[in-house]
Amino acid sequence: MSPHPPWIGYAWAAAATVLCTLAGFAMTPRFDLVNVAMVYLLAVVVIALRFSLGAAIATSLASVALFDYCFVPPQGAFSVDDAQYLLTFAIMVAVAIVISGLTRNVRDQARAQAALEVEAETERIRSALLASISHDLRTPLAVMSGASSSLAEHGDQLEEAQRRELARSVYEQAREMAERVSKVLQMTRLESGGMTLSRDWVSLPELAATVLDRLSERLSGHRLMVEWPQDLPLVNVDAVLLEQVLVNLLDNAAKHTAPGTVVRLRAQVRNSDIVVSVEDFGHGIPEADVERVFAKFHRGNTAGTAGGMGLGLAIARAIVRLHKGEAWAEKMPGGGTAFRFTLPRETSPAMPAEPVEA
Amino acid sequence: MNAARGTILVVEDEPEIRRFLRSSLGAEGYRVVESATGRRGAIDAGSHKPDLAIIDLGLPDMDGVEIIRRIREWSSMPILVLSARTHERSKIEALDAGADDYVTKPFGIGELFARVRAAMRHRVRPARGGMALRLGETTVDLEARRVIRAGAEVRLTPIELKILGCLAHHLGMVVTHRTLLAEVWGPGHEGDTHYLRIYLKQLREKLEADPVRPRHLLTETGVGYRLVADD
């Protein structure tokens, strides 16, 4: 089916024949009638290419009628001899049918191709998910069952320090796993489109403070710089979801850059939006990956060691888009990568001023 | 195991989580009463008269919020709820129904103990009247309305003082946006969270050593604020 309502095709058909007739009037003193007929045929071809077969046949009919009436002598009237123009009409209809058929074939093929690509993409995601689950969940599970069985079965024979270390690794792996599972769930929820935003006026520096607190352990090896402009307005967002965006971007920076390097969180106020950036000073990512880092299950080349399912950035982008913003990555001059996203800039409602204290 | 520190009711349907709570709370010196269903929990709350209840919000037989309402009909015992992250709405509902605080699953035991202690302390000494709060290098004496930071007096506006007073009244515990707005600005302002964003920023600049990474005036994203003082 063509994407527009059927009457649009007929409107174009009428417009095209009228145009051809005007062109015909301009041509007649100098050109043969056969050339005028060709102009009408062109209209039929164009309408058949763009619109329905019905519109193309209507174009043929109108063309023949107008051609006969306006250009074939005696002009301004139909005549008995004009029966020959039934043949012209038949040819035009034939052209319309052939062109419409060809166009439909091309459209169908394109659609089939697109469906195949969607299927291939779904398949790719499914296998990536399975691979992730087997690696990213089985490894911590193995660690947890190993460490906890040592504790349960030989706990009394172990030194206090060893017991603590085993317990600690169970705890850390469990937290990591819980986070991964919730990422998969969140991605699923975001994709199903069932997510409603619970918007609120939020201060970015305040939100970032809770994120930095949550990630303090993971970011402890990096040198963190936080820069907020003086005139940074409040943003009208879902605070919990936006917190997740910041967590995912900062976590990504911590995972993929060497300890000791700088991670910079900052914002920039522009005309209609606010740009929030997490910039790192790592090795940077290959040019080809700059476009793809936000895709689902894309992992940087350090993924094997850094873990994670490549969902963090995809989730961040999906959340930003729900807020009518955009997320992207760019190379920083002199190495490193900037992950940026925008949020619409809005004016928060006024607040009654408090009388200045005496 | 003695019950010197009090009795805690745990309403949780997952036996593994009950087991872990029983052993860790027991090791801290609390007596633990376990209920596997919401219905049972509501009854046990009446018959055991615990000093504190921990209620899971994801019980299959009964909405956790409903149990809180039932307990609140006759008791002001401290109630902590366990809930999953990103379920902010259910946390807020539970807090509005009368829960005192929440812990997000998965949680570390240190976090749970801190919440339990704050809620118990609130019951024993609700107003903290006359007590000065120590927030790092800042001392807050709410009764005298005096704030001293590194030896110098800090001027707070009446609204800043009211906010600080409301948070201090629930020291260590979360206070929802709604409660803060209603108590400070009055009814009709429950949706004006942008007031809080602006005032909390001012308060942090006046009280916190590093307002960018606050240690005392903490944000509970999507829920409210929490004031944590040094012991």
Where are chain A's structural domains?
1-194, 199-344
A32 is written with which tokens?
């043969």
Q: Which of A186, A198, A203 sits opposite B197 (nearest CB)?
A: A203
> What topology does CATH give the domain A199-344?
Heat Shock Protein 90 (3.30.565)
> What topology does CATH give the domain B133-227?
Arc Repressor Mutant, subunit A (1.10.10)
pTM check: above 0.90: no
Please answer whether residues B67 and B55 qualify as being in contact, where contact means their C-beta atoms are separated by less than 8 angstroms. yes
How many CB pairs (< 8 A) connect A and B? 65
Residue A162 has pLDDT above 70, yes or no: yes
Residues 6+ apart with CB under 8 A from A286: none
Alpha carbon distance A326, A318 (integer Å): 9
Alpha carbon distance A139, A144 (integer Å): 9
Please answer whether residues B185 and A351 qualify as being in contact, where contact means their C-beta atoms are separated by less than 8 angstroms. no
A chain contacts of residue B158, beta-carbon cutoff 8 Å: 354, 357
Supply φ then ψ for residue A269, to 5 degrees: -95, 125
A298-333 burial string, b = 16+ CB within 10 Å, else e?
bbbeebeeebbbbbbbbbbbbbbebbebebebeebe
- Please judge whether B85 and A182 are an interchain contact, meaning their C-beta atoms are less than 8 angstroms apart: yes
* Per-residue confidence (pLDDT) for residue B56, from 0 to 100: 93
Give the residue from B166, B159, B215, B156 showing the smallest Cα distance to B185.
Answer: B159
Please answer whether residues A169 and A149 qualify as being in contact, where contact means their C-beta atoms are separated by less than 8 angstroms. no
A205 is written with which tokens?
């520096």
Interface test with A, best of B197, B202, B220, B228 (most A CBs within 10 A): B197
How many helices (H) and strands (E) chain B has is answered by: 8, 12
Alpha carbon distance A256, A270 (integer Å): 29
Cβ of A357 under 8 Å from any chain B Cβ?
yes
Q: Which of A198, A228, A351 sits opposite B194 (nearest CB)?
A: A351
Q: Alpha helices of A133-237 — where are they, by DSSP H?
A: 138-154, 160-192, 204-214
Q: Which residue of B has its CA nearest to A210?
A: B219
Cβ of B186 under 8 Å from any chain A Cβ?
no
Please answer whether residues A21 and A70 qualify as being in contact, where contact means their C-beta atoms are separated by less than 8 angstroms. yes
Model pLDDT for residues A254-267, shown as the tens digit of each residue:
988 899 999 999 99
Model pLDDT for residues B55-102, shown as the tens digit of each residue:
999 888 988 899 999 999 999 999 999 987 667 788 999 999 999 999
* Per-residue confidence (pLDDT) for residue A358, from 0 to 100: 40
Q: Which residue of A has its CA nearest to B194?
A: A201
B117-134 mean pLDDT: 74
Model pLDDT for residues A79-126, shown as the tens digit of each residue:
656 677 778 778 888 888 888 888 888 888 888 888 887 777 777 767
CATH number of B7-124: 3.40.50.2300
Residue A303 has pLDDT above 50, yes or no: no
Place of tokens 């943003």: A235
Interface test with B, best of A206, A243, A245, A346 (most B CBs within 10 A): A206
- Please judge whether B88 and A175 are an interchain contact, meaning their C-beta atoms are less than 8 angstroms apart: no
Give the full edge-to-edge strand order of the sheet including B224-227. B174-176, B224-227, B217-220
Domain boundaries, chain B: 7-124, 133-227
Residues 6+ apart with CB under 8 A from B35: B9, B10, B11, B12, B41, B43, B44
What confidence category does residue A307 fall into, taking pLDDT thresholds of 50, 70 and 90?
very low
- Please judge whether A209 and B201 are an interchain contact, meaning their C-beta atoms are less than 8 angstroms apart: no
- Please judge whether A354 and B157 are an interchain contact, meaning their C-beta atoms are less than 8 angstroms apart: yes
Alpha carbon distance B68, B71 (integer Å): 5
